[in-house]
Amino acid sequence: HLTGSTLNQCMMVGDGLNDAVVIEAAGIGVAVANAAAKTLSVATYIAPDYSANGAAVALEFALQLADPATRTQ
């Protein structure tokens, strides 16, 4: 709320069952590949697991979405 952003404008990354609620509510909900089944089922994007830099891959994905010059048709 400090930035004026809504949850729909945020990206959440997680792997645990407790992450599923916020991943589902976020504008971009990311689960890493080794996440709990429920978390995987609500994610809009599945990144590699944390040992394969999944959070960094997810961030790169989000930055590409935000930059029209990098979008593919």
Q: Express each pLDDT in 8-28 by its tens digit.
A: 888 999 999 999 999 999 999
The pairs formed by 40-46 with CB atoms below 8 angstroms and a separation of 24 or more are none
Backbone angles phi, psi at 47, to 5 degrees: -95, 165
pLDDT of 22: 94
Q: What is the DSSP letter of 35?
A: S
Global pTM value: 0.81
pLDDT at 45: 93
> Average pLDDT of each block of 10 consecutive residues along the chain (73 residues)?
79 95 94 96 94 92 78 54
CA–CA distance, 27 with 44 (Å, rounded to integer): 9
pLDDT at site 66? 77
